[in-house]
Structure 1
Amino acid sequence: MGGMPPSDLPWWRWRARIRSALHMLSDPGFQRGTWLDGGRGGYGDLSDAVYRLVGDSWLDRWSAEKYVGSVFRDSAEAVAVDAAVLRVLLVVHKVGEDAPAAAYLGHPDWPEAVRAAREAHHRLAVNDGEDPEAPPLPLAELGRLTARA
């Protein structure tokens, strides 16, 4: 397993965190209500979502293909996740890491990032037997889900 990031997170917890990030990044209504208007607390901000997507998994450095058979079920999931990571990070790099949410959401490439995240979120949710149209979970709920099972 050479080259894997050192982490004490089990695979299924990575998947849950990545799914949570993709879910939030795939839903423009959620983004407007939660990140733009400083609306509902408990969901973290856009930077938190990006961190959940790439922080533990290092998906900003290498392909999701590395995790097929562990975090991801198949190549189709990996390809969809890679596309979402690429699109989201493209905007993050153009706008800057600590920009306000409005700067990301207003960027001309953001709708493409949302579309790619939606495709990945949908595929992972359906493969896990969950409803992709359900609203994103608050982070406390994600924490409970990913606590010791």
Structure 2
Amino acid sequence: MKIRKTTPETQGKVSALLKSAFPKSRYEARLVENFHRNNTQIHEWVCIHVNKVIAYIAFSNAYNDTQVCGLHLAPVAVAPQFQRQGIGSELIRFALRQEAIKKNTLFVLGNPEFYRKFGFKPCSMPICPFDKDNRHFSAMGNTATTPFTVGYEPEFDQ
């Protein structure tokens, strides 16, 4: 199993992976396809096993108004036949060690209990527009004290 940066050659495989990992939703695949189509700067990696993309992770910019204030972890996915084997956790830990990631404040919208094991903590500020009570919104390295609604790249609304 190898983790490497996503390349143009793996982008189609990433879309297929996201569709299989989220069979009831096309949102995640469309989000990443739009990032690529729009040349939006993101940090992304794939996990390769026997020449097959089996896991994927991406980080995109988070905003306080027009200023970048950190990164959003989204999406992260593992192929169904490889789930519950620790591959997603390994991919997250790998990404969190990368210089471009670890120097930033990180935000994630997801199961707080799952993300807590990586160092994410419940976040009351900033406000997540997709989780108004912030029950599923966590952060790492967050020092925000002034109220604001965190912004996402426009692809999240497409």
TM-score by length of 2: 0.29
Higher relative contact order (CA 8 A, sep 6+): 1
Query: As a proportion of its length, which structure holds more strand?
Result: 2
Query: As a proportion of its length, which structure holds more helix?
Result: 1
